[in-house]
Amino acid sequence: MSGKLNDKHSWNKVILFLLVLLLLAITGCDSSGQTETSPSYRPISWMKSSEDILMRQVAERELERRYKRYLPDELVAAAKVYGIDWDGEQGTAYASILACEYVSLKGKAYVMASTSGEAILHFNYDGQYPKLTELEWSANGGEHNKWLEDNFPEEYLEDYKNFQQQNQTGEDEIERKIREEVKELLDAPIETEDLLEIDLDEEIYEIVRIYEGYNDKGEYQFNFETIDKGSLKELPETTK
């Protein structure tokens, strides 16, 4: 009879369906058949904002705000994540990372420190906020490629190689993220030509412009010109 479950077979189907749902809940399977212990499993709640929170922890871990007494000082980090392996609430991310310290002076943002490279990030994720527990940077120099081959899963290593190939010239995805975040935090564009030098002991700053090229003798050289300098203590609030 339509709309009713009067026959034995119909009730058996309902019971079987409920048992399947219960089994899926117990084993932690999602609709794709992945489990919480599958490397490719990704919690539904994991979003870009989760990655942003993790990057802020990387910046705070690797750098410090050395000039905050005198100038607006921000730590930023961005990454190209090639993949995340999951084991329940434990995540392991494989990525290229750039972390920087920027200060704002007279309407421009200057980079004061940075660290970058490939890395493996270990973190806990409770469905709301990731918590960085360990950060392992890649080896430098001639050991770099070997470190990647030994530590990056093959699939993620291939993605890394493709990313590097695509970004051999010009601004890459990571640099774009940094530029956008610095603009938002400091409300200032990044200065890419002049350098800001700060002497905390003397409490002075100097903005230096670099010129490069060949001299009259055909020798390639760098020349430096100071275009602004002054006391950090005497900077008015409007110039910061």
Residue 176: its pLDDT value, please? Answer: 92
Express each pLDDT in 71-129 by its tens digit: 999 999 999 999 999 998 899 999 999 999 999 999 999 999 999 999 999 999 987 88
Q: How is the chain split into domains, by residue range?
A: 1-33, 48-185, 194-239
In SS3 terms, 165-197 reads as HHCCCCCCHHHHHHHHHHHHHHCCCECCCEEEE
Question: How many CB atoms are located within 10 Å of the residue 93 CB?
Answer: 23
Residue 212: its pLDDT value, please? Answer: 86
Averaged over 23-33, what is the pLDDT? 41
- The better pLDDT of the pair 170, 14 is held by 170
Percent of the chain with pLDDT over 70: 78
Q: Which residues contact 145 (CB under 8 A, 6 or more apart)?
A: none
Cα gap 50→236, rounded to integer Å? 38
Residue whose C-alpha is closest to residue 194's, from 115, 109, 71: 109
Residue 215: its pLDDT value, please? Answer: 83
Express each pLDDT in 193-217 by its tens digit: 999 999 999 999 999 998 888 888 8
Q: Does the pLDDT of residue 37 top 50, yes or no?
A: no
* Exposure letters 53-64 (e unless 16+ CB within 10 A, then b): bbbbbbbeebbe
Cα gap 206→214, rounded to integer Å? 25
Residue whose C-alpha is closest to residue 40's, from 95, 80, 82, 83: 83
Express each pLDDT in 128-161 by its tens digit: 889 999 999 999 999 999 999 999 999 999 999 9
Cα gap 33→55, rounded to integer Å? 30
Query: What pTM value is reported for the model?
Result: 0.77
Residue 91: its pLDDT value, please? Answer: 93
**Sequence letter at residue 155:** E
Residue 239: its pLDDT value, please? Answer: 67
- The better pLDDT of the pair 55, 169 is held by 55
